[in-house]
Amino acid sequence: MILIDGSYLEGGGQIIRTSIALSAITGKPVKIENIRAKRRVPGLRAQHLKGIEATAELCDAELKNAKIGSTSIEFIPKKVKGGSLSINVGTAGSICLVLQTLVLPSLHAEKEVVLEIIGGTDVKWSPTMNYFKHIFSYFLSKMGIEIFVETLKYGFYPKGGGKVKVTIKTCKEIKPINLIERGEMEKMDVRSIASELLRKRKVAERQTEGSKKILKFENEIISYVPSLSPGSSINAHAHFENCKLGASELGERGKLAEKVGEEAAKSLVKQIDSNACLDEWMADQILPYMALAGNSKVSVAEVTNHVRTNIWVIEKFLPVKFEIDETNKIISCQKI
């Protein structure tokens, strides 16, 4: 059984998600201790537990001590079956963070996996569904992985109630990637979404106006959506010949919509100025897929503690070695 110290480096939920996903796909049992030990409220939260339970259902895993607040769990997987799964994360628990646990094992399932997940689509401390659809899934498609995303309903904090349908095709052979040079910029687009409850205040339009103070976007997509709680988000994307960069911001009570858009655009400028192929959020998310593909290399906007933590976990499960070129911010992975 592989033993993982959940307090390592950033010591957050990412250690749980990566460990459980790799346990399921490799068939290696795992014990995670000191779960979220550095957090104000340590132990498993609802969205971590839902991700673990759903992955366990996917591969008939035996779970030990998996409950809210638990600081130590064991996950003993069997074969990944595939099929359809319905998950309710509860209120505005992040749908994207649950997906981070489920996508990887789904690739080695006996048949395609169809997930229907209820929870938060655009919530704090998590990628938005539009980031998952337009950035995360885009990079995985370069590795031969097919993911189809339908956002059926948006869910904002605190009530959530968003709903997505995600279909993940099996993929036993992941293609290596080599993304160092991004090529010429082709276009930029911005997607501004707000609850119908905020239409009168023109929140979606105002977010876009704020972003346009900083950058010129070729395409603007403005949407108002039904939701249980009022909320908004904006996603800005820069398209290059070889890659795509993204940045997102969420609306907040008391923050001007224009300011939200401005912050998203400034965040995208930071990613563009890095000259990297992967933005700082994609940098750690791509790593397990690079490890399964082997012999891959990417340039990243930032080498974060999330990156270092994920590498540490991955190397415990798979016969790979990562190297980080700190000067040029290039991460490479070789099979050993």
Q: Which residues are catalytic?
A: 306
Using CB atoms within 10 Å of the CB of residue 212, give its burial: 0 to 12 exposed, 13 to 18 middle, 19+ buried.
middle
Name the token pair of 310: 């994920």
Nearest in space to 215 (alpha carbons), one of 257, 278, 184, 261: 261
| Strand duo 296-299 + 178-179: pairing | parallel
**Contacting residues for 88 by C-beta, under 8 A, at least 6 apart:** 50, 117, 118, 119
Q: Write the CA distances from 15 to 18, 65, 305, integer angstroms.
A: 5, 17, 11
Report which DSSP code applies to 134: I
Chain centroid, CA 197 distance in Å: 27
Residue 88: CB atoms within 10 Å? 14
Report yes or no: 8 and 46 within 8 Å, Cβ to Cβ: no
**Contacting residues for 320 by C-beta, under 8 A, at least 6 apart:** 291, 294, 314, 333, 334, 335, 336
For the chain, first and last CA: distance in Å?
21
Q: What percentage of the chain's residues is helix, strand, coil (to nearest 5)? A: 30, 30, 40
| Strand duo 162-168 + 113-119: pairing | antiparallel
